[in-house]
Amino acid sequence: MQTCCDAVALLKFRMRTTFTFVLLWLARCLAAQDNVQITLGPDEIGENQAWTITVTVSNDRLKNYENFPDIDGFKKRGTSTQSQTSIVNGQVSSTQSVIMTYVPTRQGTFSVLPFKMKVNDQIYSVNGKKIKVGPAVQSQPDPFRSFFDRDPVQDFFGRGGETEFVDIKEDALLAVRTSKDEVYVGEGFNVTLSFLVADNNRATMQFHELGPQLTEALKKLRPSNCWEENFNIENIEGEHVEIDKKGYTQYKLYQGTFYPLNTKPVELPSVALKMIKYKIAKNPSFFGQNRQEDFKTFYSKAKVVKVKELPPHPLRDAVSVGEYRLDEKLINTQLQTGQSAAYEFRIFGEGNISAIEKPVIPKSEAFDFYEPNIRQSINRESGRVAGTKTFNYYVVPKEPGTYNLGQYLQWIYFSPSKKKYDTLRSSYTLTVTGESQQNQAIESTDPGLFYDRLNAADNTLKKSNATNWNKLLFNFLIVVMLGVSVYLVIKR
């Protein structure tokens, strides 16, 4: 009886523990949902007014976000950020917001379809709505705003009037950097276009219509004599870097690897980026406007990368350039003549994977090599392009014997680190048994019947000087037959 009671008590304890855990888990999920709010703008605006979507994170850091929707009838103007910290009764609360601004392109009623956004690695669903865009709205003076735009303290002491704004010198730059200043033909070098803001910068800035500006900049930046591997940066996030012992926050706008196709120097011209920069009120007040929007254009420095010719070699114009290794696979090295075998020749490493050509296999009476199936995989990360290119062959031995596949399957490339040519070759040795397949090869090349050989026959007229005894004998027999026939006719 005691044991039964203990079991019941243990079961109740476990049920209470599980119930408590579920409640805590639900509370945590609800709290995580509550600290992120996605707010849509008003239902009706004028054609000259902006509409916004605001993502606000409370009592946490806005680490990442993505997927602001595209809206028919609007174009994205850009994002801005806000942060606020409050202390009430000793309790500290903070909010961080990112605001995407949309500008209407025409009047009408437009639908914001339901969409999902990823904020701090969590997915949030947002209901859509309709927006009515009417005629341009005349801005009306707001007596309350005009009151609050003044500093009552300054008015009290007779120092009222328009706010004076001053330009704060920024410590930032637009930079085009390359991983190498000199390369061989076909050797890759990394190019990064970044906006760098120094740690001690005091000016407030934000991006302005980044998409169209970046498109125009890359048209100038991409060289015509290079193959490009684009890293396709989708989210622009700041990361801390040090340049010449000075700290910066780096915003990567573009990153790619270029492979020169000839010895012409790669010229990277100066490109421009227009940023929103705010002027600060000279005498800031509690009630008044303390900053004013302005623009500042930054220019990168032009850069040239020298390109060297590869050292002399018979295949200098055909070899790949990079750092490569070989991974091969052959299941069976004991074969019969006429028996096919699958062989994999896999090249992997760092370089222009797309430009890798298949190995050149010499003709052989001992083997038939069928055209390979080709696969490639390219990874672009950490400022380097690496990957694999695989050639899958079917090999059919025709003659018995022992063969080193390295004599047939080899691939030559140039290594920039070693500054010399190198060869990847097969390490397999095949043992082939069985009868020779040469007779089958002869049969397979049989020209066929008389009519099949007509197209291959030589129709050139030739003069024959030799005496044809068969022809003389044949003519003699004809003459005899004619003579006998005449004799028989006369006798009758």
pLDDT at 87 over 60: no
How far apart are alpha carbons 234 and 211 in whole angstroms?
Answer: 11
Tell me: pLDDT of 208 over 60: yes
Rg of the Cα atoms in the chain: 41
Q: What pLDDT, on the 0 to 100 scale, is given for residue 323?
A: 96
Question: So what's the pLDDT on residue 238?
Answer: 85
> What are the DSSP calls for 344-382, one per residue?
EEEEEEEE-GGGPPPP-PPP-SSEEEPPPEEEEEEEEET
Residue 25: partners with Cβ closer than 8 Å, 6 or more residues away: none
Cα–Cα distance, 304 to 302 (Å, whole number): 7
**% of residues, the chain, pLDDT over 70:** 77
pLDDT tens, position by position, 340-349: 999 999 999 9
Q: How confident is the model at residue 273 (pLDDT cuts 50, 70, 90)?
A: very high
CATH of domain 36-139: 2.60.40
| pLDDT range class, residue 10, cuts 50, 70, 90 | very low
pLDDT recorded at residue 142: 44
CA–CA gap between residue 123 and residue 64 (Å, rounded): 12
Beta bridge partners of 124: 117
Q: What is the mean pLDDT of residues 246-275?
A: 94
3-state secondary structure of 137: coil
Question: Hunting for tokens 């019941």 — which residue is that?
Answer: 8
**Burial class of 80 by CB neighbour count within 10 A (0 to 12, 13 to 18, 19+):** middle
Q: Span 51-76, mean pLDDT?
A: 85
Which of 10-14, 186-190, 203-207, 268-272 has the least mean pLDDT?
Answer: 10-14
Q: Global pTM? A: 0.58
| Confidence (pLDDT) at 118 | 87
Q: Evaluate if residue 409 carries a pLDDT over 80.
A: yes
Q: What is the pLDDT of residue 255?
A: 94
Confidence of residue 454 (pLDDT cuts 50, 70, 90): low
Residue 285: per-residue pLDDT: 59
The per-residue b/e assignment along 127-148, b for 16 or more CB within 10 angstroms, e otherwise, is eeeebebeeeeeeeeeeeeeee
The distance of Cα 66 from the centroid of its chain, to the nearest Å, equals: 18
Q: How many CB atoms lie within 10 A of CB 112?
A: 21
31: confidence class by pLDDT, cuts 50, 70, 90: very low
Q: Rounded distance, CA 218 to CA 273, Å?
A: 11
The distance from CA 81 to its chain's CA centroid, rounded to whole angstroms, is 29
Closest CA to 353 of 320, 383, 392: 320
Q: Which run of H or of E encompasses 488?
A: helix 469-491
Q: What is the pLDDT of residue 329?
A: 95
CB contact at 8 A, 36 and 119: yes
Architecture of the domain delimited by 320-440: Sandwich (2.60)
What confidence tens digit (pLDDT) does each residue in 230-247 have?
988 878 888 899 988 899
- Which range has the worst mean pLDDT, 32-41, 291-300, 381-390? 32-41
> Is the separation of the CB atoms in 194 and 251 below 8 Å?
yes
Q: Do domains 36-139 and 320-440 have the same CATH topology?
A: yes
Q: What is the 3-state secondary structure (H, E, C) of 175-219?
A: EEEECCCEEECCCCEEEEEEEEEECCCCCEEEECCHHHHHHHHHH
| Rounded (5°) CA angle 353-359-360 | 140
Domain ranges of the chain: 36-139, 165-308, 320-440
Is the pLDDT at 422 greater than 80? The verdict is yes
- What is the model's pLDDT at position 346? 96
Asked if pLDDT for residue 464 goes beyond 80, the answer is: no
Q: Give me 389's structure tokens.
A: 């290119």
Contacts of 225 (CB under 8 A, 6+ apart): 260, 261, 262, 264, 266
Least confident stretch, 220-234, 305-319, 432-446 = 432-446
**Under DSSP, is residue 79 helix (H, G, I), strand (E, B) or coil?**
strand
